[in-house]
Amino acid sequence: MMQTDSQSLEPTMSHSPQTTILVIGGAEDKVHGREILQTFFNCSGGRDARIAIIPSASREPAAIGNRYRDIFEDMGAKAIQILDIRERYQGEDPIWQNYLEGCTGVFMTGGDQLRLCSLLADTPLMEKILLQVQRGEIVLAGTSAGAAVMGHHMIAGGGSGESPNRSLVDMTTGLGILPQIVVDQHFQNRNRMARLISAIASHTDRVGIGIDEDTCALFEGGETIQVMGKGTVTVIDPGEMLYTNEPFVGASDPLSVFNLRVHVLTHGDRFHLPTRSIELPEQRLSA
């Protein structure tokens, strides 16, 4: 891991042709410096930005969509469109896919990640967004629920304040934008360390990413994280894990996890994600 000057963020990202995805822990600053939202705006082309806002996770999509539209209008975006999708069939509407042709940035708001996935997963609209992101044609950002959906495996809900155990976390399928990770948002703010460890104990071929509020993990090329914001990004790395009792205990029993690696990143840090999957021994090792 190495440090980088935070002032280099904008020029590094805004001219990069590679995949650029902002995974935001929620409650990002919308009033004062707006560092994270301003970075998304800059990456999307600045005053040439054509931004699509997807507020489908929210139960008040019109209100939340308008709030972000006002923010990006104030920054000077060239064009902004709210994709107010409330039924799955709307994800097949060519009007939204046509708008994406000239789009430079897509922003998914917070709310309910299950609702967002139920509306967007496997729709032509989402498939087009994924293709454009992979080609580096658009910048994608998601905050809170919009961050939770990034992985193939998604945390749908759960608790906090307990030791790691299987019942602490509810898992389902996400949008698979960054399939190698499992995201938990509002991380330290809501004491979700045990929840993310529980998720990774049952998905040991993935990497856990816990993102605090007003904090962003910016993925460059899908393999490198660059951190910005006021909090931390916690990486739960099972790449050298030796053992977990997860397959052998009851849902509410505490979990054992041997040799799990934890990285805590702050503003300006860059981190290369581990890419290899692991296999666990069947027999418990001696402590």
Question: Which distant-in-sequence residues (6+ apart) come within 8 Å of 172 by Cβ?
Answer: 114, 117, 153, 154, 156
| 194: DSSP letter | H
Does residue 193 contact residue 210 with C-beta atoms inside 8 Å?
A: yes
Cβ atoms within 10 Å, residue 160: 12
- Active-site residue, from 44, 56, 58, 144: 144
The CA–CA distances, whole Å, from 207 to 87, 143, 180, 196, 218 equal 32, 19, 6, 10, 15
Query: Any catalytic annotation for residue 144?
Result: yes
Active-site entry in 186, 198, 213, 246 = 186
The answer to whether residue 267 is catalytic is no
Total H helices, total E strands in the chain = 8, 17
Residue from 162, 202, 203, 223 carrying the catalytic annotation = 162
Neighbours of 188 (CB within 10 A): 17
DSSP per-residue letters across 99-151: HHTT--EEEE--S-HHHHHHHHTT-HHHHHHHHHHHTTSSEEEEETHHHHTTS
- Under 8 Å between Cβ of 50 and 78: yes
Concerning whether 203 is annotated as a catalytic residue, the answer is no
Catalytic residues, by residue number, are 144, 162, 186
